[in-house]
Structure 1
């Protein structure tokens, strides 16, 4: 890993700002707790005099520090990315079910507020709009490959009402399900 040549003060500013752009470029070690973190860690900030910075994970671990359980700096993927991956996998496997944010949050073990915030931060959309896209993708596939009616496809893909189905489908494909079927029949 390239040494980024930031001063102590610059690195301190990055951890106070929880700047994710610097994750992996340096690590913050807290002398009093013997724990090290990513620059983006949201844990309570230590006193400045108790902080040391390391450019490489091997160096911080060799110095006797252990990884923070919250930000998991020893992994390649941040905990928020892992959370989003778990949510997406859950949505793909349960898209047919009637899901509310609380169900999804319960599955991944976080609060609905936290889930929505992290998911939007990482994907620029909410779990609900992501689920809608999965359902529309499944509906488009069924329109092309089956003889099911639009209403059967609506319920098969987890939509709770035909009006929601038509609205979501048109919004994402710029045509109605019937028009889509005519244009894409195999």
Structure 2
């Protein structure tokens, strides 16, 4: 059995703050509802006298508690990370299309504002920045391995205008597509 050197008061502080850094290290069991949660769960907080802490899922389940449907503590990924993973998969699958935040949010079932805020918090970049990096990486691969022109590659990877393609490519790769071609062309 693993133990954590946190007191009840410290663990209580972590669940009040919804601190996701402690997810998986301990679980909060609520005596009155017989439900257990992750420390980061956004559900309404119980009274401290109704809380017990456990260190493993088997221990808390053996004590008769069931997992929270909101934070899903028995899953490997948090529901928030699962949402971001789904958004990333959508971006990768549809990178050639003209995408707006509303399309991505509709696919994952979240509001555009929430998706962008959560995406940025968990990945340190916006969905647009992620999509641009993916498109530029695809473009760099095509530049190095095919005889397509820069303009053809621009449209092939989903950019809507050559000027935006050149600007984003330079920002991410620190050179123009033509300079990249000279340095990375595979014979």
TM-score under structure 2 normalisation?
Answer: 0.94
- How many pairs does the alignment contain? 186
Distance 1:55 1:141 in 2: 46
Distance 2:177 2:5 in 1: 56
The aligned residue for residue 29 of structure 2 is 29
Cα distance, 1:13 vs structure 2: 0.5
Deviations for 1:101-125, whole angstroms, at most 9, x for unmatched residues? 1111111111111211221111110
Cα distance, 1:7 vs structure 2: 1.9
The aligned residue for residue 63 of structure 2 is 63
Distance 1:176 1:55 in 2: 52
The aligned residue for residue 131 of structure 1 is 131
Cα distance, 1:150 vs structure 2: 1.2
Cα distance, 1:172 vs structure 2: 0.6
The aligned residue for residue 98 of structure 1 is 98
Cα distance, 1:49 vs structure 2: 2.4
Unaligned runs of 5+ in 2: none
Distance 1:162 1:69 in 2: 47
Distance 1:44 1:37 in 2: 11
TM-score under structure 1 normalisation?
Answer: 0.94
